[in-house]
Amino acid sequence: MPRSHLFRSASPLVVAVVVAPLVLGQLADPSPAVARGAGPARVVAHLPAGGVFGPRSAWRLDVRRAPLGPDSAAIAATVSTQVRDHWGGVAAFNDDLFTTATYTVPRRTRRIDVVFDDCQHKGYQPTQLVGRGGAFRSVPIPARARPAGGSDGNLAVYSPSADRLWELWKAHRVSGRWHACWGGRIDHASRQAGYFGRGTGVSASGVALSGGIIRRSELRRGRIDHAMSLSVTQAANWRVFSYPAQRSDGSAAVGTRGAVPEGIRLRLDPRLDLASLQLTRVGRIVARAAQRYGFIVTDQGGAVAVSAERGSLRSGTNPAQVLRAFPWDRLQALPMDYGRP
């Protein structure tokens, strides 16, 4: 582990999201507090259109006219090779195990304190999580919430009335109390860039996983209006990362040509004629978004993979084939720290 506050997440072959209820009118509520209340939160519906983060965030930046980075060709070739060399040459469309279970909760969801589990043997209680005002204090987790399956056990909660986003790693319940090994909170989330500070957050890069999830509603309407998170099989050395990443767990040797920094933004060549390709319906939707908003590299793991809400695919669709024929060889890498305010 290169830095004391980092963790190496389990290899995400399959990732998804479960989204809970949202009353759209709550988005305009500026109240910073959520009242305590009894009873379980309802669990249905979707995140706001375009995601939790607003139009000025890193996730909503239109990159069609952005310049290319000096190492664009080498970085793009690395990603294309990683796809080719793993899992039959098809990138993963993560909508099953190793999910990030995300709940959008109403104002009166009961707040609880999450217990910090020192599963990484840090030997201390992190004040940014458990101290006064810490991310693990007063979290509105629905009574019926279930963390994602798999070893990561990711759980995210968004409160529109408070405009706060929490993400928890290895979340689980013991004797009625919620525990987690790490996580973070973003205040005023809809006005933020889309990453966690002070070494917090679930992803190895500190970028909010909730920002890059592909949702059911987006696939139904045929349009994704934000950048998508991308996991690669090996990222550039942990010392090298790009905005909006705040850190990295990258394992490539220092100076590796074409190494992919966590946080780097990749786009699909905007000049590419998608109609000429034999893409699946979902693959075409992803490709259009990749031309306009691109991908943001958030982690390294067991596959080159995008993340989607659980149940995003139509019944009978094989997730292992959703991204077949996707033109990874036409990726382009933008300059380091592109879009930094």
Contact (CB, 8 A) for 138 and 54: no
H or E element, residue 194: none
Contacts of 285 (CB under 8 A, 6+ apart): 218, 219, 222, 223, 224
Alpha carbon distance 20, 61 (integer Å):
26
Tens digit of each residue's pLDDT (9 = 90 or more) over 92-139: 998 877 768 888 999 999 999 999 999 999 999 999 999 999 999 999
Provide, rounded to the nearest whole percent, the portion of the chain with pLDDT above 70: 85
Tens digit of each residue's pLDDT (9 = 90 or more) over 246-256: 999 999 999 99
Q: What is the pLDDT of residue 9?
A: 40
User: Helix or strand or coil: residue 173?
Assistant: strand
Alpha carbon distance 142, 111 (integer Å):
9
pLDDT tens for the chain, residues 1 to 341 = 333 334 334 333 333 333 333 332 222 222 223 222 323 333 433 456 678 999 999 999 999 999 999 999 999 999 999 999 999 999 999 887 776 888 899 999 999 999 999 999 999 999 999 999 999 999 999 999 988 777 888 899 999 999 999 999 999 999 999 999 999 999 999 999 999 999 999 999 999 999 998 988 899 999 999 999 999 999 999 999 999 999 999 999 999 999 999 999 999 999 999 999 999 999 999 999 999 999 999 999 899 999 888 778 887 888 889 999 999 999 999 999 999 99
Contacts of 230 (CB under 8 A, 6+ apart): 212, 266, 295, 296, 297, 298, 304, 305, 306
Distances (CA, A) of 56 to 190, 191, 275, 339: 9, 7, 30, 10
This prediction has a pTM of 0.85
